[in-house]
Amino acid sequence: MAEAGMSWSEYYAKTRDQPPRPTLLEALARFGGRTGLAVDLGIGSGRDAAVLLARGWRVVGIDAEPVVLALPRHPRLTVRREPFETAELPQADLVNASFCLPFCHPDAFPSFWGRIAAALGPGGRFAGHFFGPRDDWAGDPGITHIPEDEVRALLTPFEVERFDEEEDDAETPRGAMKHWHIFHVVARKR
């Protein structure tokens, strides 16, 4: 779900020149220069994929928006236009999910998370974000909000390397004020 009245294309125009997400940069630092296959969920304008490609990773980007098929081509980038709710994930060294998991429909989220965890072998990493229950968008039946104890339960197969809770009032890319409740996570599969 894009913000009311704003398409994902508008979101991309406002965010595409912004730097990669700190969760991704931390995961990459923890790989210590090793590369592999990264699945970039919600690839969007490619802001995270750009750093993955620059550092030598192969990237499979998955996103439901048709515009992602027009991302600049790169020999190590494959873009699949698919909804999270049904997407099958390849075996990967890293699953990056920046600000996109909440937009998987809640009914489909448990199965989607199962596919994310199954895509990672021992030593593989997850980097991404979950929205908590005090987020302003909680209550929207199409958005997945998860309490901290349930996020931690999802991470049981992982060694948690970063778990930051953010709760603040800040502008959305559209310029509206919003109360954000976000968990920033980096985790390594046991």
| Count of residues touching ligand SAM (by CB under 6 A) | 19
Residue 23 touches ligand SAM, criterion: CB under 6 A:
no
Residue 61 touches ligand SAM, criterion: CB under 6 A:
no
CA 46 to chain centre: 12
CB of 97 to ligand SAM, least distance (A): 8
Task: Give the C-alpha separation, 70 to 139, whole Å.
Answer: 33
Q: Torsions phi, psi of 30, nearest 5?
A: -70, -20
CB of 66 to ligand SAM, least distance (A): 9
CB 183 within 8 Å of CB 165: yes
Residue 44 touches ligand SAM, criterion: CB under 6 A:
yes
CB 23 within 8 Å of CB 127: yes
Stretch that binds ligand SAM, among 29-37, 44-52, 163-171, 175-183 (CB under 6 A): 44-52
Question: Which residues, numbered 98-157, are part of the site for ligand SAM (CB under 6 A)?
Answer: 98-100, 103-104
CA 116 to chain centre: 11
CB of 7 to ligand SAM, least distance (A): 9
Residue 107 or 150: the one with the smaller Cβ distance to ligand SAM is 107
In the complex, the residues that contact ligand SAM under the rule CB under 6 A are: 8, 11, 15, 21, 42, 44, 47-48, 63-65, 83-85, 98-100, 103-104
